[in-house]
Protein backbone atom coordinates (compact mmCIF):
# COMPACT_ATOMS: atom_id res chain seq x y z
CA UNK A 1 0.00 0.00 0.00
CA UNK A 2 1.07 3.59 -0.64
CA UNK A 3 1.21 4.44 3.06
CA UNK A 4 3.73 1.67 3.72
CA UNK A 5 5.72 2.47 0.58
CA UNK A 6 6.14 6.04 1.79
CA UNK A 7 8.01 4.89 4.89
CA UNK A 8 10.31 2.71 2.80
CA UNK A 9 11.10 5.60 0.46
CA UNK A 10 11.54 8.29 3.11
CA UNK A 11 13.29 6.52 5.96
CA UNK A 12 16.77 5.00 5.74
CA UNK A 13 17.98 4.31 9.31
CA UNK A 14 21.68 3.73 9.87
CA UNK A 15 23.76 1.94 12.49
CA UNK A 16 27.22 3.51 12.13
CA UNK A 17 29.14 2.49 15.24
CA UNK A 18 30.72 -0.80 14.12
CA UNK A 19 32.42 0.86 11.16
CA UNK A 20 34.49 2.77 13.68
CA UNK A 21 35.54 -0.30 15.66
CA UNK A 22 38.46 -1.68 13.66
CA UNK A 23 39.03 -4.32 11.03
CA UNK A 24 38.34 -7.46 13.06
CA UNK A 25 34.57 -6.93 13.32
CA UNK A 26 32.32 -6.94 10.27
CA UNK A 27 28.85 -5.43 10.09
CA UNK A 28 26.80 -5.55 6.89
CA UNK A 29 23.23 -5.23 5.72
CA UNK A 30 21.34 -6.67 2.77
CA UNK A 31 17.89 -5.65 1.57
CA UNK A 32 15.14 -8.30 1.46
CA UNK A 33 13.23 -9.38 -1.62
CA UNK A 34 11.26 -6.57 -3.29
CA UNK A 35 7.92 -7.87 -2.02
CA UNK A 36 9.13 -7.48 1.57
CA UNK A 37 10.72 -4.06 1.36
CA UNK A 38 7.66 -2.16 2.59
CA UNK A 39 7.89 -4.19 5.78
CA UNK A 40 11.53 -5.17 6.41
CA UNK A 41 14.29 -2.61 6.09
CA UNK A 42 17.17 -5.07 6.02
CA UNK A 43 18.73 -8.29 7.22
CA UNK A 44 22.03 -7.73 9.00
CA UNK A 45 24.97 -9.63 10.38
CA UNK A 46 27.60 -8.68 12.95
CA UNK A 47 30.55 -11.02 13.27
CA UNK A 48 34.20 -11.28 14.19
CA UNK A 49 36.73 -11.89 11.43
CA UNK A 50 39.13 -13.36 13.99
CA UNK A 51 39.14 -13.75 17.75
CA UNK A 52 39.38 -10.44 19.59
CA UNK A 53 41.75 -9.81 22.46
CA UNK A 54 38.93 -8.65 24.72
CA UNK A 55 35.13 -8.58 24.87
CA UNK A 56 33.46 -6.35 22.30
CA UNK A 57 31.04 -3.61 23.32
CA UNK A 58 28.47 -3.14 20.57
CA UNK A 59 26.63 0.16 20.72
CA UNK A 60 23.25 0.35 18.98
CA UNK A 61 22.06 3.88 18.22
CA UNK A 62 18.41 4.94 18.21
CA UNK A 63 16.89 4.12 14.83
CA UNK A 64 13.12 3.94 15.35
CA UNK A 65 12.94 0.27 14.35
CA UNK A 66 12.26 -3.09 15.99
CA UNK A 67 14.70 -5.98 15.39
CA UNK A 68 14.79 -9.73 15.79
CA UNK A 69 18.32 -11.02 16.45
CA UNK A 70 20.16 -14.19 17.45
CA UNK A 71 23.61 -15.77 17.62
CA UNK A 72 24.05 -18.00 14.58
CA UNK A 73 25.86 -20.63 16.67
CA UNK A 74 22.93 -20.69 19.10
CA UNK A 75 19.71 -20.07 17.13
CA UNK A 76 17.62 -21.70 19.84
CA UNK A 77 17.91 -18.37 21.69
CA UNK A 78 16.46 -15.46 19.71
CA UNK A 79 15.37 -12.03 20.88
CA UNK A 80 13.39 -8.93 19.96
CA UNK A 81 14.73 -5.47 20.71
CA UNK A 82 12.05 -2.80 20.69
CA UNK A 83 12.02 0.90 19.89
CA UNK A 84 14.77 2.58 21.91
CA UNK A 85 14.80 6.30 22.60
CA UNK A 86 18.45 6.18 23.63
CA UNK A 87 21.49 4.15 22.63
CA UNK A 88 21.94 0.61 23.94
CA UNK A 89 25.17 -1.26 24.60
CA UNK A 90 25.71 -5.02 24.45
CA UNK A 91 28.89 -6.67 25.75
CA UNK A 92 29.75 -9.54 23.40
CA UNK A 93 32.34 -12.33 23.62
CA UNK A 94 35.67 -12.31 21.81
CA UNK A 95 34.08 -14.28 18.94
CA UNK A 96 30.49 -13.95 17.77
CA UNK A 97 28.23 -14.11 14.74
CA UNK A 98 24.92 -12.32 15.19
CA UNK A 99 22.19 -12.13 12.57
CA UNK A 100 19.11 -9.92 12.62
CA UNK A 101 15.97 -8.73 10.87
CA UNK A 102 15.20 -4.99 11.09
CA UNK A 103 11.55 -4.04 10.60
CA UNK A 104 10.52 -0.61 9.39
CA UNK A 105 8.48 1.54 11.82
CA UNK A 106 4.92 0.25 12.45
CA UNK A 107 5.57 -3.09 10.73
CA UNK A 108 6.57 -5.42 13.58
CA UNK A 109 3.35 -4.83 15.58
CA UNK A 110 1.29 -5.44 12.44
CA UNK A 111 2.97 -8.72 11.55
CA UNK A 112 3.24 -10.12 15.09
CA UNK A 113 0.09 -8.58 16.58
CA UNK A 114 1.72 -7.01 19.61
CA UNK A 115 1.65 -3.58 21.21
CA UNK A 116 5.06 -2.06 20.37
CA UNK A 117 5.15 -0.15 23.66
CA UNK A 118 5.46 -3.50 25.46
CA UNK A 119 8.87 -3.93 23.80
CA UNK A 120 10.19 -0.39 24.09
CA UNK A 121 13.65 0.21 25.55
CA UNK A 122 14.30 -3.47 26.25
CA UNK A 123 14.81 -6.83 24.61
CA UNK A 124 12.72 -9.94 25.18
CA UNK A 125 12.72 -13.60 24.13
CA UNK A 126 11.24 -14.05 20.68
CA UNK A 127 9.63 -17.28 21.89
CA UNK A 128 7.42 -15.17 24.18
CA UNK A 129 6.31 -13.05 21.22
CA UNK A 130 5.96 -15.50 18.33
CA UNK A 131 6.78 -19.16 18.85
CA UNK A 132 6.46 -20.03 15.17
CA UNK A 133 9.22 -17.61 14.16
CA UNK A 134 11.35 -18.68 17.10
CA UNK A 135 10.96 -22.31 16.00
CA UNK A 136 11.84 -21.41 12.39
CA UNK A 137 15.13 -19.85 13.52
CA UNK A 138 15.91 -22.75 15.84
CA UNK A 139 15.23 -25.38 13.18
CA UNK A 140 16.56 -23.74 10.01
CA UNK A 141 19.53 -21.60 11.08
CA UNK A 142 22.97 -23.25 11.16
CA UNK A 143 26.39 -21.72 11.68
CA UNK A 144 27.69 -23.10 8.37
CA UNK A 145 25.17 -21.08 6.34
CA UNK A 146 26.41 -18.14 4.31
CA UNK A 147 24.71 -14.77 4.70
CA UNK A 148 23.34 -15.20 1.17
CA UNK A 149 21.75 -18.52 2.11
CA UNK A 150 20.31 -16.98 5.26
CA UNK A 151 18.76 -14.21 3.17
CA UNK A 152 17.03 -16.75 0.93
CA UNK A 153 15.59 -18.58 3.94
CA UNK A 154 14.45 -15.29 5.48
CA UNK A 155 12.83 -14.12 2.24
CA UNK A 156 10.85 -17.33 1.91
CA UNK A 157 9.72 -17.44 5.53
CA UNK A 158 8.83 -13.77 5.94
CA UNK A 159 7.07 -13.60 2.58
CA UNK A 160 4.60 -16.23 3.81
CA UNK A 161 4.29 -14.56 7.21
CA UNK A 162 3.74 -11.07 5.82
CA UNK A 163 1.43 -12.29 3.06
CA UNK A 164 -0.87 -13.82 5.68
CA UNK A 165 -0.90 -10.76 7.93
CA UNK A 166 -3.76 -8.26 8.20
CA UNK A 167 -2.43 -4.71 7.99
CA UNK A 168 -4.11 -1.58 9.29
CA UNK A 169 -3.19 1.44 7.16
CA UNK A 170 -4.84 3.96 9.47
CA UNK A 171 -4.62 7.22 7.46
CA UNK A 172 -4.33 9.35 10.60
CA UNK A 173 -1.23 7.44 11.70
CA UNK A 174 0.41 7.25 8.29
CA UNK A 175 -0.25 10.88 7.34
CA UNK A 176 1.43 11.84 10.58
CA UNK A 177 4.38 9.55 9.86
CA UNK A 178 4.63 10.93 6.34
CA UNK A 179 4.76 14.49 7.69
CA UNK A 180 7.42 13.62 10.28
CA UNK A 181 9.60 11.86 7.73
CA UNK A 182 9.24 14.54 5.05
CA UNK A 183 10.15 17.23 7.58
CA UNK A 184 13.03 15.08 8.85
CA UNK A 185 11.70 15.22 12.37
CA UNK A 186 11.85 19.03 12.55
CA UNK A 187 8.28 20.13 13.28
CA UNK A 188 5.87 21.26 15.97
CA UNK A 189 4.11 18.00 16.74
CA UNK A 190 1.02 19.42 18.47
CA UNK A 191 0.37 22.02 15.76
CA UNK A 192 1.39 20.27 12.54
CA UNK A 193 0.10 16.74 13.09
CA UNK A 194 -3.55 17.71 12.76
CA UNK A 195 -5.25 14.99 10.75
CA UNK A 196 -8.68 14.69 12.33
CA UNK A 197 -7.53 13.06 15.54
CA UNK A 198 -6.82 14.33 19.06
CA UNK A 199 -3.27 14.42 20.33
CA UNK A 200 -4.21 11.83 22.93
CA UNK A 201 -5.52 9.44 20.27
CA UNK A 202 -2.47 10.06 18.10
CA UNK A 203 -0.14 9.25 21.02
CA UNK A 204 -2.10 6.03 21.56
CA UNK A 205 -1.60 5.03 17.91
CA UNK A 206 2.11 5.85 17.99
CA UNK A 207 2.63 3.96 21.23
CA UNK A 208 0.97 0.86 19.79
CA UNK A 209 2.54 0.86 16.32
CA UNK A 210 5.87 2.64 16.94
CA UNK A 211 6.56 2.11 20.64
CA UNK A 212 6.67 5.72 21.82
CA UNK A 213 5.10 9.14 21.26
CA UNK A 214 5.12 11.22 18.04
CA UNK A 215 7.49 13.68 19.73
CA UNK A 216 10.00 10.98 20.68
CA UNK A 217 9.83 9.37 17.24
CA UNK A 218 10.41 12.79 15.64
CA UNK A 219 13.56 13.23 17.73
CA UNK A 220 14.89 9.88 16.53
CA UNK A 221 14.10 10.77 12.90
CA UNK A 222 15.92 14.10 13.31
CA UNK A 223 18.92 12.31 14.82
CA UNK A 224 18.97 9.71 12.05
CA UNK A 225 18.92 12.40 9.36
CA UNK A 226 21.94 14.03 10.98
CA UNK A 227 23.76 10.69 10.90
CA UNK A 228 22.96 10.21 7.23
CA UNK A 229 24.14 13.72 6.39
CA UNK A 230 27.56 12.94 7.95
CA UNK A 231 28.50 16.51 8.80
CA UNK A 232 32.15 17.31 9.41
CA UNK A 233 33.32 18.58 12.78
CA UNK A 234 34.15 21.89 11.10
CA UNK A 235 30.62 22.28 9.73
CA UNK A 236 29.14 21.42 13.10
CA UNK A 237 31.04 24.35 14.62
CA UNK A 238 30.94 26.91 11.81
CA UNK A 239 27.52 26.41 10.25
CA UNK A 240 25.62 26.00 13.51
CA UNK A 241 23.87 22.90 12.21
CA UNK A 242 21.96 22.55 15.46
CA UNK A 243 19.82 25.61 14.61
CA UNK A 244 18.97 24.24 11.16
CA UNK A 245 17.66 20.96 12.56
CA UNK A 246 15.54 22.47 15.30
CA UNK A 247 17.72 22.50 18.41
CA UNK A 248 17.62 25.49 20.75
CA UNK A 249 21.37 25.75 21.10
CA UNK A 250 24.56 23.74 20.87
CA UNK A 251 24.27 22.35 24.40
CA UNK A 252 20.78 21.01 23.65
CA UNK A 253 22.04 19.46 20.41
CA UNK A 254 25.02 17.76 22.08
CA UNK A 255 22.91 16.43 24.96
CA UNK A 256 20.27 14.90 22.70
CA UNK A 257 22.82 13.51 20.23
CA UNK A 258 24.73 11.81 23.04
CA UNK A 259 21.48 10.36 24.36
CA UNK A 260 20.82 8.71 20.98
CA UNK A 261 24.39 7.78 20.06
CA UNK A 262 26.35 7.42 23.29
CA UNK A 263 29.10 9.89 22.36
CA UNK A 264 29.28 13.57 21.40
CA UNK A 265 28.85 14.70 17.77
CA UNK A 266 32.54 15.66 17.64
CA UNK A 267 33.59 12.14 18.59
CA UNK A 268 31.04 10.50 16.28
CA UNK A 269 32.00 12.51 13.18
CA UNK A 270 35.60 13.33 13.98
CA UNK A 271 37.17 10.07 12.79
Segment 118-128 mean pLDDT: 97
Q: Which helix (H) or strand (E) holds 97?
A: strand 97-103
What pLDDT does 197 receive?
A: 87
The dihedral of CA 36, 162, 175, 229: what is its sign? negative
pLDDT at 2 exceeding the cut of 80:
no
Q: Which residue has the higher pLDDT, 169 or 121?
A: 121
**24-41: pLDDT as tens digits:** 999 999 999 999 999 999
pLDDT at 159 exceeding the cut of 90:
yes
The dihedral of CA 128, 109, 159, 68: what is its sign? negative
**87-119: pLDDT as tens digits:** 999 999 999 999 999 999 999 999 999 999 999
pTM value? 0.94
Domains of the chain, earliest start first: 2-163 (no CATH), 171-269 (1.10.10.60)
What pLDDT does 169 receive?
A: 87
**255-269: pLDDT as tens digits:** 999 999 999 988 888
Backbone angle region of 240, left / alpha / beta, with phi > 0 → left and psi within -120 to 50 → alpha? left
Amino acid sequence: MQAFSSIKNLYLPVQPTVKQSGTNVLYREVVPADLLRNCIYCYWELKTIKRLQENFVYRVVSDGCIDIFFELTMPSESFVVGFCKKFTEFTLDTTFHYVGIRFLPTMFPQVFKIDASELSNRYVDLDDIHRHTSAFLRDRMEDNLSFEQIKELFDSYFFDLVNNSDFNADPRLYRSLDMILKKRGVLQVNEELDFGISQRQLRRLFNYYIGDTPKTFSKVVRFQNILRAKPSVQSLKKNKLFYDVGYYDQAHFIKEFRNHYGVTPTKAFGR
